[in-house]
Amino acid sequence: FSSVCTHMSVSASIQLESVSTRIVDELEPGDGASFPKVGDKLLVHYTGCLAATGRCFDSSRARGHAFTFTVGCGKVIKGWDVLLLRLCKGQRVKLHVGAVDGYGAAGSPPNVPANADLLFDVELIDINEPLVKEGIRYRKELEDKARREVEEQQERDAKAAMASEGPKAAASGPKRPRESDESGSGSDSDSSSSSSESSGAARKRKERKKDKKKEKREKKRRERKEAKKSSKKEAKRGRKKEKKMKRDRETVQRSVITGKRLKLDDSAADTEGRAP
C-alpha cells in the first residue's frame, strides 16, 4: 500500500486535537484479533448524526452500499483515521468526533454546519476485502436495494388507496331508514322495493369489490414484473463489473510477468557481453 498512501509515516503519528473525540460505546463486539494498520482498505457501514440535534446527515445503510476507504491516509476526517485503527473486524461502536477532528470551521455544506460535533454509528465489516468477494457483495447490495424500493412503493400505494377511500366513505354518510306509510299495502310495497334496492346495491358492492381485487392483482403482477426486470439489470451490471475487475487483474498479472521476462533477458545479455 506504499503507492496508495505516500505519507504513511506522517499518518501514523496523527494526534487527535479534541478530547471529546473518542469511542463512546461498543454496540457489538468484534473478533478481537484482526486490527487494521495504516494503509489498509476498510469496509464499513455507518450512520452520521449531528451531536447537537441528532439529525442524520449521511448514512451508508440508507444508501444500501457499504463504504470503502484507505485508513490513516487523510482520505476521511481525522477522527475516523485515528479511531478506526482501534477497532477490530466485526466490531460496531458509537463514536463522538469533535469539530476540530471532523469538518472544522468550514463544515460540509449543506448537511454539516461549521464547528459541529458529530456522532457516528460505525461497523467495521472487513479489512482488505478480496476483489471477488467485493463483486459478490456489490451485486447482492444492488438486489437488496431494488427489493426495498419495490416494497416501499407498495406501502406508499396502499396508504394512498386507504386515504382515498376514507373521504368517500365519509361523504356517503349513514343510510336513513325509509318512512313507512300508514296503510298496510303501502308498507308492503315499500318493503318489497327496499329489499330489491338493497339486493341491487349488494350486487353492485360485490362487483366493485371484485373489480378492486382484480386491479390489485394486476398491480401486484406489474410490480413483480418490474422488480424482476430491475433486479436482472442490476445483476447484469454486477456481472459486467466482475468481468472488468477480472480483466484488470489479468492485465496486471501479464504486465508483471512481462516485466520479469524483460529483466531476465537484460541480465542474460549483460552476462553474454562480459563473457571472455
Q: 216: closest CA among 250, 165, 253, 148?
A: 165
Give CA–CA dist 231/137, Å, rounded: 14
Decide: 259 and 156 in contact? Cβ < 8 Å: no
- Residue 1 designated active-site: no
Catalytic residue among 1, 14, 35, 58: 58
- Residue 58 designated active-site: yes
Rama region for 96: left / alpha / beta (φ>0; ψ in -120 to 50; rest): beta
Catalytic residue among 77, 121, 125, 126: 77
Catalytic residue among 81, 101, 120, 125: 120
Supply 249's cell numbers: 487483474
CA angle centred on 212, ends 206 and 215, rounded to 5°: 145
Catalytic residue among 1, 35, 57, 69: 57
Catalytic residue among 40, 81, 101, 103: 103
- Residue 136 designated active-site: no
- Residue 120 designated active-site: yes
- Residue 69 designated active-site: no
Q: 152: closest CA among 160, 162, 141?
A: 160
Give CA–CA dist 14/84, Å, rounded: 13
The catalytic site residues sit at 46, 57-58, 77, 103, 120
